Amino acid sequence: MGFRSLITITLFLFVSYLLFFLRFNKNLESENKILLKSLAVTIFFICLLCTTKQFIPTFNEHLHPYLIAGNILQILLPIQIYTLQRSYGYFSKLKDVIILSSSIFLLNLFLIAASFLIGLEKLTILLYLIQASILSLITYQYYTLRPAFNEIFSTSNENSFSLKADMFLFVIASTIALLLSFSLFTNLSPYKREALKLILGMINIILLVKVLYYSSYNRLHTLRTSYLGTPSSLTENDFFNQKKDDDLKNRLLNYFETEKPYLNPRLTIAEVALYLYSNKTYLSRLINDHYNNNFSQFVNYYRIQVAKDLFSKDNRMTIHQLCDLSGFGSMATFTMAFRLNVGNSPAEWCKEQKIKGHNDKEKEN
């Protein structure tokens, strides 16, 4: 009880500081603001759950494993919502975060009440349902985020570090949640379960500190002057025939600018190499040496330019329309590539362009 009280007080202090930070930081970007508000809401409901347990002296969740399963859902929620916000732009409205967080909190209250009213044998089905929901949620996110994982970990630039840290925390939290879920069917001691829950809670605090750090120093909005960069200096050891290399490079750029193959979501380097009468190994090396990017990043650069042009012509277009028309195969890939290229999400960039366009019109008038 004393240890739980310490955790609850610590979480309340973090939430209080977060509210203070949001209240007095006037220059905070809207995207970072919704991330921090969402973390404040989800962690606040974790605090409420911990406080509720403090006022139930006869409460013993170790006699009711489904209660721990409900707790896992509540503790895992901050990192899950944060990942969905960063990857897909979901939960962009604070109202949705509040509804989901409060719903899981009410589920936990129902489980606590049921532990006193109904026998454990009649509630076993709840344990399996909650376990299945946790497993399904994590499995679904792993599957849908796979393109984003590939995009992030194949990129090395100023914007990729923060996204890599996000994915690392997501993987660790999901793994611990799965271990906790499976431990309910084993003889793992209650103390070890509490330790795993503590680690899961600490990940939420680490995530909070990370977002505060990047918000304070405005690191998420750092833009690269040119995504493709300046061609690196070449030596005799880099290429056997400089003329052949320049010819392939010119044909590649001409192919992309005239034929626009990048609008095909299933475009592969093998198809491009075949069209240019080259091989994919040589073409991959040329793109890497000249533009310091791999083939996927090279293609996504052109796709993002298309998305920008489309929105500049019609700012009523939705994010999904921009994703489809620019050649991206999924929203996760589009969002991650946009963050790595531009520095923020497509939704945030579009919002900035609308504001900029409105201000330009006012100046003209």
* Residue 343 Ramachandran class (φ > 0 left, ψ -120 to 50 alpha, else beta): left
| Alpha carbon distances (Å) from 310 to 255, 267, 295, 327, 349 | 20, 21, 23, 12, 13
pLDDT tens digits, 245-293: 788 888 999 999 999 999 999 999 999 999 998 888 888 888 888 888 8
pLDDT exceeds 90 at position 166? no
What's the CATH code, domain 242-364? 1.10.10.60
Residue 150: predicted pLDDT: 78
pLDDT tens digits, 25-41: 777 777 788 888 999 99
Residue 324: predicted pLDDT: 92
Q: Percent of the chain, pLDDT > 70?
A: 87
Residue 187: predicted pLDDT: 74
Residue 1: predicted pLDDT: 60
Q: Percent of the chain, pLDDT > 90?
A: 21
Residue 239: predicted pLDDT: 39
Residue 225: predicted pLDDT: 36
> Stretch 52-63: mean pLDDT, rounded?
66
Residue 241: predicted pLDDT: 56
Residue 224: predicted pLDDT: 37
pLDDT tens digits, 207-256: 888 888 877 655 434 433 334 444 444 444 443 457 777 888 889 999 99
What are the residue ranges spanned by the domains of the chain?
2-217, 242-364
Mean pLDDT value across the chain: 81
- 53-57, 286-290, 318-322, range with greatest mean pLDDT: 318-322
Q: Which residue type is seen at 99?
A: I
pLDDT exceeds 80 at position 132? yes
Smallest CA-to-CA distance from 166 within 81, 79, 48, 105 is with: 79
Residue 112: predicted pLDDT: 82
Residue 42: predicted pLDDT: 94
pLDDT tens digits, 111-125: 888 877 776 666 777
Residue 68: predicted pLDDT: 81
Contacts of 253 (CB under 8 A, 6+ apart): none
Between the two ends of the chain, the Cα-to-Cα distance in Å is 65
| Alpha carbon distances (Å) from 293 to 96, 98, 228, 296, 360 | 38, 40, 7, 8, 35
Q: Taking a C-beta distance cutoff of 8 angstroms, is the pair 263, 327 a contact?
A: yes
pLDDT exceeds 50 at position 8? yes
Q: Taking a C-beta distance cutoff of 8 angstroms, is the pair 293, 287 a contact?
A: yes
Task: Quickly state the pLDDT bin for 103 (edges 50, 70, 90).
Answer: very high
